[in-house]
A = this chain, B = another copy of it.
Amino acid sequence: MHVHELAENTYRLFAALRDTRPLVHVVTNFVVMNQTANVLLALGASPMMSWAEDDAAYMSGVSDALCINTGTPVADRISVMKSLMSLAGDVEKPVVLDPVGAGAGPFRTDIARELCTLAPAKIIRGNPSEICALAADHLSTKGVDSGISPEQARAILTGHGRPDRNADDLPSGATALLESASALVVSGNTDMVLGQGKMVKIANGSQLMGAVTGTGCMLSAICAAFYAVAENGFDAAIASVAVTGIAGELAASRVTGPGFFLPHFIDSLYALREADIHQYLRAEVHSL
């Protein structure tokens, strides 16, 4: 695959998304609900943000994709997340799992592990620490958390990487994790999309996005919107990372701090043209 081909495919899915306006059901943390809904609207999708238990089965019947984000994991929400992922799995509805805080303590890690076993047609998106925590689980019978020091847990929670396991260690563990997913997205300075025996590195985006809350969560919701119109999770993930990175880069070029990043990001998504994708996409394709 050539970058030009990735760009073409990304735009094709972007146009399909705007055409079909998929209904994306997002159960996400309380910090980012508002911006997630606005980003989906700007992209051309329709958001639905409820996790009411009595609503879950009905909403699952009408939505086109599901995004589950385990931040602020209050107990009653976790059971709804499981139900929704099971229901989605039954009909092979596209799912995205954002395992916020996986690795930081047994509670979050166990939730993420359990959700990983549901809905095989899914993209898993996280920072390197979270993905490592889940990937390690596939490589070892030793509990993930037993090997995580408080210092490492802090790194997971702050999203500043784990000093002991950098992204270069990912592919081996990730290969195993890919058995329960159609694609992995590992967010970082360079984002990585893994799937179909390949690793695509996408170098768009901006350092500034680390100073804005919920940029990863937004990417996960965007992955769900693209997955609703894509043939498979791998293509959806590439398109999502490309579009998010390019819109993020354009937004960052228009601001001097994090305060105005989000409105510019939304406007960049809303106004994104085919030419922008071809001009800005920086991607490399590797074999796993």
Contact = CB atoms under 8 A, between A and B. Distances in A.
B154 A62 contact: yes
Interface size class of A (residues with CB under 8 A): 35 or more
**Chain A interface, >50% SS class:** helix
A47 interface: yes
Contacts of A270: 211, 257-259
Contact of A48 (B34, B42, B157): B157
Contacts of A55: 73, 105, 107-108
A172 B95 CA distance: 42
A265 interface: yes
Quickly give the copy total for this chain. 3
Interface string A201-226: 00000000011111000000000000
Contacts of A35: 34
Interface string A257-273: 11110111111001100
Contact of A256 (B51, B212, B256, B267): B267
A214 B33 CA distance: 12
A154 B267 contact: no
A105 B59 contact: yes
B37 A34 contact: no
Contacts of A157: 23, 46, 48, 62
A46 to B, nearest CB: 4
A267 B258 CA distance: 6
